[in-house]
Copies of this chain bind each other. A is one copy, B any other.
Amino acid sequence: MVRIGIDLGATNIAVGVVTDDGTILHKVEAPTLASRPWQPVVADMIALTRRALSEAGFTLDDLRSIGVGVPGTAIGGVVVFCTNLGWHDVPLERTFREAIDKPLYIDNDANVAGLAEAMAGVSAGAPNSVFLTLGTGLGGGIIINKRIYTGAHGVGGELGHLTFIADGEMCTCGKRGCLERYASATGMIRQGGEAIRTHPHSALAKAAGQDPANLTAKLIVDQARAGDPTAMMVFDRYVHYLAQGINSIISFIDPDMIVLGGGVSKAGAFLLDAVRLALTNYIFFRTLPYASIELASLGNDAGIIGAAMLGE
């Protein structure tokens, strides 16, 4: 028996045939074309599922379950919100099962990536872990006893929207001062934009052609790594914020491990070493053991593997 894992992103749909232990046997992809209505997108997901199975030499009889990771929130088989896709109350489970009648599981993409790392990645040895996607936003996936924890109403794990600087920067969610405004790639880029305006002669400003629109987290990290004082200031400030956010997670649910994923985590050991060091300034019980901080290990495959693992 095999599983299907579907990583539904705003750009691509990736579908993989996955073994029970989380190995991807075969993978197919197609563009999401997210401006379409949801019906043709789901039709493509179904067609890709059939194609992936067939190309890998399996039939529907070999299929145990299908899992889907979505960049939004799903409750009871329905995708309630999916801002990047413009989805609202999409009956994904019902629609899918009308075509392929197999158990279908849906969850948020950060939860799914966290589950993948907990089953087959860096947090495989940790019963309780928290996965952070440091990208355009800041997503959180809470794993307790190797299961995704989304709370009593399915709306937990929104770690990007913890209040971090009350009455601070306006967030896309309508509140002010959410952690996401400070500890996501977007947060780093905003700080970088302010820095190059006040430091126009810095290597960072020159690398960005004096235009904040050219800034990326990678550019800032690369310039910081190369020793540009302005980029280092921006990076240090980012780490100062991220480490405090991680400290809040430890103070709240004290996991075995916190896993850093998403675009910013590609900074690798340069980020990890800085975060681990900064964290020692904030930790509450300084003499007691606390969560280890690690980099995600599965990369883009986490979305497929974790989705496949959603089933029993």
Question: Which A residues are within 8 Å of any B CB, using their own CB?
Answer: 73, 75, 80-81, 126-128, 142, 144, 149-159, 161-166, 168, 173, 175, 177, 182, 240-241, 244-245, 247-248, 250-256, 281-282, 284-285, 288-291
Contact = CB atoms under 8 A, between A and B. Distances in A.
A78 B89 CA distance: 51
A288 B89 CA distance: 12
Main secondary structure of the interface of A (DSSP, over half): loop
Contact of A252 (B126, B127, B252): B252
A54 to B, nearest CB: 38
Given A164-B163, A252-B159, A152 B244 contact: no
A156 B248 contact: no
B288 A252 contact: no
B254 A156 contact: yes
Given A152-B127, A250-B155, A254-B156, A163 B245 contact: yes
Contact of A155 (B154, B158, B288): B288
Given A155-B250, A155-B254, 13 more contacts: A127-B152, A144-B144, A151-B253, A155-B284, A155-B285, A156-B250, A162-B248, A162-B251, A163-B244, A163-B245, A165-B165, A165-B177, A175-B247
A151 to B, nearest CB: 2
A-B pairs, top 9 by smallest CB distance, nearest first, are A151-B254, A156-B254, A158-B251, A152-B256, A162-B248, A163-B244, A161-B251, A155-B285, A153-B289
10 contacts: A128-B151, A144-B144, A154-B288, A155-B254, A155-B288, A157-B252, A161-B251, A163-B247, A175-B247, A252-B253
Contact of A81 (B177, B256, B285): B285
B164 A166 contact: yes
A159 B288 contact: no
A255 B151 contact: yes
A166 B163 contact: no
A270 B279 CA distance: 39
A250 to B, nearest CB: 7
Contacts of A127: 152
Contacts of A289: 153
Contacts of A166: 164-165, 182, 240-241, 244
Nearest to A75: B288
Residue among A142, A255, A281, A282 with max Cβ neighbours from chain B (10 Å): A282
